[in-house]
A and B are shown apart, each in its own frame.
Chain A
Amino acid sequence: MTDATVLDVSQDTRKSGRFLYVASVVFLCAWVIVPIYLLLINTLSSPEAVNSFPKSFIPEFDFGSLQFFAGFAGMLTALKNSVIVALMTMVMSIAIGAPAGYALSRFDFRGKELFRLLILLARAFPLPLLALPLAVMFIQTGLDDTAFGLALVHTTLAIPFAVLITFSLFSGIPIELEEAAWTLGCTRLTAFTKVVLPLILPGITASAIFAFVISWNEVFAAAVLTIENRTLTAFLLQNLDTSPLHLKFAGGFILVVPALIFIFAVRKYLFAMWGIANR
């Protein structure tokens, strides 16, 4: 084997490796973008175009479907409610979930394994089963039909994720870092706020996004537990399945966009986390 062929072979493998890399990137991007793009096209198409085949890849900018929703009574209130409930869920699930995650990763206590298992149980029961007794209790206690009441339910759904995500985050940060801070004059609290917190902030954001999305997408509890203060999903989603196709697309688009905007707004914290993971 001469030097030239060795060079060729290594160049070949590098080339095909590069091709595979680019192809996977393109494939993964398409995986996410194509459905959203199709949703956008159909949202901006007239009813005739939506029902016809093959589809054009350039939207015709027919705003009929979106205009329909602009005039749909209660949309903005529902959107506001959705955002409020999702934000409350986010704050509460982090406020409760992060300390639990810290405790799980830093302390040894009896029943720790059981606790980790039990925390997942909140997700083991389907909501339609829980909704009836919950609604009865909410009506009796006055929590019924409030954003706070619904946020409590959504928080319960989001906490398992918050706990497990923050648990693995805290576990990823060596206790030695904290101990070093203690020797340099930090208290347990200041060591946490000055050393650990900045390191896990991106991870906290990630679990906050999870909480936000879980709350944003939840329909059943929202439909049962709120009347006047409906969230956007409860307000729209259950009516969309029986609606004409072009309105399904437009409604779906309206449901997706706010969540996308939110994720976009906090993306830099997420990327920062992935940066840590790579290091």
Chain B
Amino acid sequence: MTLISKFAGAASAIALSCVAVAAQAEVLFWSTQAKPVEESQAMREQVLSGYTAGVDYQPNDGGPWITRLNAELQAGSGSIGLLGALHGDFSAMNPDDLVDLTDVGAMAKSATFNTLAKLGTDQMQYIPWMQASYIMAANKEALQYLPEGADIDALTYDQLIAWAAKVHEATGEAKFGFPAGPDGLKHRFFQGYLYPSYTNGVVRTFASDAAVTAWEKFAELWEHTNPASTNFSFMQEQLLSGDAWIVFDYTSRLAGAFNERPDDFVAFPAPAGPTGRGFMPVLAGVAIPRTAPDMEASMALVQYMLKPETQIATLRATNFFPVVDVALPDDLPASVQAAGAAIAKMSGAADANPGLLPAGLGDKGGDFNRVFVDTFERIILARQDIRTVLDDQKGKLAAIMTATGAPCWAPDAPSEGACPVE
């Protein structure tokens, strides 16, 4: 009998829930960024609470994010008012599905970013929203093993290898940490750091002799890399647990370590190779899908997101840096100060060699990353011959470039038509 009464209770719950669909005036902010619970909490309470009309901020995994969006686009009506995502997410979309934002009255400071945001069309497909980059971080205990004459703010790859080797020797453990896990951002290291630093290119120089040297150097570094790195995706965890002392990762994936124990870690620029200090800025943007229920409200929210105060609040909440001109306050969280200083040193270095995120690849962006990840797995993990692997993978890369017709991006020299793999 109790079971039957339970069913009765359930039935009444059903009846109740059917009534619970309320009218919504808030703009639905559908985002792939600021996903960790602390960051989404901060987005809601500190960044978006200042927007009087109300925002419903919902961060999602990439899969549900794009599925829901596509469903609304196909159905021709939707509830998503504003999209927040990385450059790569937008570039994979059909340009017609995004509203032209050229006249929205807000723009990034950097002309490069604004050009990227056009996604190869002649109108603003999204508005740059915030930026970040990849940096290095180390446990202060590792500093005593820095090779003689090495300046932590101007390391070379050779010095980094020597440093990791010394730590390895002194502690008996390989303490370099590399985010080679399934969710790790290893491909960005190859595309934006290793290749530009050794070959001054990414696509053109993919199988060059300089690239062979680059992979040899990386293989040397791998000797002193924690072998569990193939499970690491968020290096803040290994910094905090002490499994890794010297790491490379995305600024926001290191933030936790600096915020929890600010005195124990240092952040510093990525190392330099023969062709400069390669590094890659990361760009997130906001866009409006053509099915947005209230265009005016969505546009107003875009303007709000680009205001200097909002940009600083976003920086505090997410560790992503502003894209507009702002005066940074002094009381920022430890992670922001550390990462900000490291990025400033990196981009301000005399030998800085900034690369851009892959552009114009459309939905082939994942395949492009796959080429680099496969190359890494074959050369480093399976220890196959570097020359053979590069010549092998070269064909796949060339096929992607021809299929998409994407022109070269920095640091590769500009191309007419599709970027050639030389």
Which residues of A pack against B, CB within 8 Å? 47-48, 51-53, 68-69, 71-73, 81, 83-84, 87-88, 90-91, 128, 131-132, 135-136, 139-140, 145-148, 151, 201, 204-205, 220, 223-224, 227-230, 234, 236, 238-245, 247, 251, 269
Contacts and interface: CB of A to CB of B under 8 A. Distances in A.
A74 to B, nearest CB: 9
Query: Taking each of B13, B70, B236, which has the highest tally of chain A beta carbons within 10 Å of its own beta carbon?
Result: B13
A72 B44 CA distance: 10
A88 B11 CA distance: 7
Given A136-B71, A139-B71, A87 B38 contact: no
A276 to B, nearest CB: 16
B120 interface: no
A277 to B, nearest CB: 19
A52 B242 CA distance: 9
A239 B37 contact: yes
A199 to B, nearest CB: 14
Contact of A140 (B7, B41, B75): B75
B126 interface: no
A72 B16 CA distance: 24
Contact of A91 (B14, B37, B234, B256): B14
Q: From DSSP, what is the main secondary structure of chain B's interface residues?
A: helix
A224 B67 contact: yes
Interface string B1-32: 00100010111011011101110100010000
Contacts of A243: 36-38
B68 interface: yes
B331 interface: no
Interface string B252-263: 000010001000
B223 interface: no
B353 interface: no
Nearest to B77: A139
Contact of B18 (A90, A148, A224): A148
28 contacts: A48-B260, A72-B37, A81-B17, A84-B16, A88-B13, A131-B64, A131-B67, A136-B75, A140-B75, A147-B18, A151-B14, A223-B60, A227-B28, A228-B21, A229-B17, A229-B21, A236-B37, A238-B35, A240-B37, A241-B183, A242-B35, A243-B36, A243-B37, A244-B256, A244-B260, A245-B237, A247-B38, A251-B37
Given A140-B75, A242-B36, A229 B67 contact: no
Contacts of B72: 135, 139
Contacts of A136: 71, 74-75
B10 A91 contact: yes
Given A136-B71, A147-B20, A227-B28, A220 B63 contact: yes
B319 interface: no
Nearest to B240: A51
Contacts of A87: 9-10, 13-14
A229 B20 contact: yes
Contact of B41 (A72, A83, A269): A72
B149 to A, nearest CB: 34
A238 B14 contact: no
A69 B256 CA distance: 18
Query: Taking each of A128, A139, A204, which has the highest tally of chain B beta carbons within 10 Å of its own beta carbon?
Result: A139
Contacts of B79: 145, 227
Nearest to A71: B41
A135 B13 contact: no
Interface in B291-316: none
B240 A242 contact: no
A207 B18 CA distance: 25
A90 to B, nearest CB: 7
B57 to A, nearest CB: 9
B281 interface: no
Q: Return the 10 tightest CB-CB contacts between A and B, nearest first.
A: A135-B71, A223-B64, A139-B75, A87-B10, A243-B36, A147-B17, A51-B240, A238-B61, A242-B36, A84-B17
Contacts of A69: 37
Contacts of A146: 17-18, 21
B59 interface: yes
A42 B45 CA distance: 26
Nearest to A72: B41
Contacts of B75: 135-136, 139-140
A151 B3 CA distance: 20
Given A151-B14, A205-B3, 9 more contacts: A51-B260, A131-B71, A136-B75, A220-B64, A230-B58, A239-B59, A242-B35, A243-B37, A244-B38
A3 to B, nearest CB: 55
A195 to B, nearest CB: 17
Contact of A223 (B17, B56, B61): B61
B15 to A, nearest CB: 10
Nearest to B255: A244
B40 interface: yes
Contacts of A251: 37
A242 B256 CA distance: 11
A146 B21 CA distance: 7
A89 B40 CA distance: 30
Contacts of B240: 51, 245
Query: Taking each of B38, B63, B64, B236, which has the highest tally of chain A beta carbons within 10 Å of its own beta carbon?
Result: B64
B70 A132 contact: yes
